[in-house]
Every structure is written in C-alpha cells, then in structure tokens.
Structure 1
Amino acid sequence: MSELVPGELAPGTGADAAALPLVHEPLPTEDLIIGTPTSATHALATIGEVEVGLWEMTPGTASDTEVDEVFVVLTGRARIEFVDPPLPAIEVGPGSVVRLAEGQRTAWTVTETLRKLYVA
C-alpha cells in the first residue's frame, strides 16, 4: 500500500487509512464550544455523486451541521450529542459505525484524536 496519497486514490491503488498524513486547519470560531480543536478532510474517491474520504478532529468540543453520511471510526474516541433533532448521545471509538442525516445539528466532544472513514 502507498504511504502518501496526494489526491484521490487511483483505481488499483491503496493506502493505510489510519496512517495517511492529513493537513489540519482550525475549526470556524462559531463552531467552537470547548478548546481549539482542528480538523482535516481528505477525499479518497468520488463514485457517482458519493464521496468517500477521511476526516479527523483533535480533542475539544465543536458543533456541526451534518450531511447525509455513514462513517466508521478508525482511531480515537468521541461523544456525539444530537442537538436537533434531539436524540440520545452516543460514544464512538474504533469500529463504531454511525449514520448521520442531512441537517442534523450535533456537538462532538473528542477525547482522543478521532479519524473516521466516511461515505457521503
């Protein structure tokens, strides 16, 4: 498997999703709740209108408005609170699979840098 993927994966290639280097940026100030977490996104492939990629967030708490997606946590731990519509919070860690819906308002409390593989 390749160690660095500068863009999307080419057909017939692979990468270590847990070790792929990602470039972090600060989250928008209006999304910050606790701390100064950063995040990174790396699109791996676009299949039709569906994007597959990696997303990572460092420890802290931030709000988000979700898109339609399913994700699998590769590394790290977090608590996801569902603000609107209100649903029970969930704890996620390696192997967790979660479905999010377009427009859901959430608050993510990351306790260990969280990396997920998403399909959106």
Structure 2
Amino acid sequence: MSTLAPGEAVGAAALPLVHASLPVDEVILGRPTTAVHALATVGAVEVGIWEMTPGTASDTEVDEVFVVLAGHARIEFVDSPLPAIEVDAGSVVRLAEGQRTVWTVTETLRKIYIA
C-alpha cells in the first residue's frame, strides 16, 4: 500500500495496478479480477483507486462515495427496493455499509473511492 504525500500528484487514470482473482464464492460469471491502490488517509477516511475487469461478482459494501474514471458497469442492489444503476466515466455513486450488490462490469471499471 502506497500513500500520496501532501503536494504529490499521480495520474489516477493511468496508475499501474496489480490485479488479483476474486474469491470464488464472489464470482458469478467470468473471471473478473480486482486491484486496489490506497492513495491517502484523511482523518479516518481512506481515498484510493479500485479497478475490476469484465465479469460479474457479488459484494457487501462499506460506506463509500466513488467517482468512475473509466469503464462501464451495472450495479444491482440485492434484497433492496433500489433500482439497478448503470455507471461509466463521470458517474458519482454513494454506497452504504452492509448493502449487498452484484457488479456486472462490461468494460474494465476504474474508480476513485472515498470510504
């Protein structure tokens, strides 16, 4: 894990990331991988970059706001009256602690998260 120093800048869209396979019990379709790179901790809040390659996977969320830098995905909210959402570059989304989701990524999705 690397942290961004005060006054330092990085190219978030092009920062190289190291991917790993998702746990088998989270994968629904395909062979998606994910990568995460923590950039900074501000107070008790972590800011970083997260990426997922095409495929479908389930997740249980943390309290988070994110901004999509690139890619496309559909996020479904399991056991919730919330409608599914489509996200792509420029989308800003709020997720709540404990929400169960299913992510279907059709173009590698890269986001900046604040959690």
**Could you tell me the percent identity over the aligned residues?**
76
Q: Structure 2: how far apart are the matches of 1:71 and 1:58?
A: 17
Shift of 1:83: 0.5
TM-score by length of 1: 0.94
Corresponding residue SS for 2:15: coil
Which residue number corresponds to residue 101 of structure 2?
A: 106
Gaps of at least 5 residues in structure 1 are 1-5
- Residue identity opposite 2:91 in structure 1: S
- Residue identity opposite 2:102 in structure 1: A
Which residue number corresponds to residue 40 of structure 2?
A: 45
Q: What's the CA shift string for 1:72-107, capped at 9, x where partnerless?
A: 000000000001324100000000000000000000
Q: Structure 1: how far apart are the matches of 2:52 and 2:44?
A: 25
Which residue number corresponds to residue 13 of structure 2?
A: 18
Corresponding residue SS for 2:8: coil
Q: How many residues align?
A: 115
Gaps of at least 5 residues in structure 2 are none
- Runs of 4+, deviation exceeding 2 Å: none
Which residue number corresponds to residue 58 of structure 2?
A: 63
Q: Structure 2: how far apart are the matches of 1:97 and 1:90?
A: 11
Which residue number corresponds to residue 112 of structure 2?
A: 117
Which residue number corresponds to residue 83 of structure 2?
A: 88
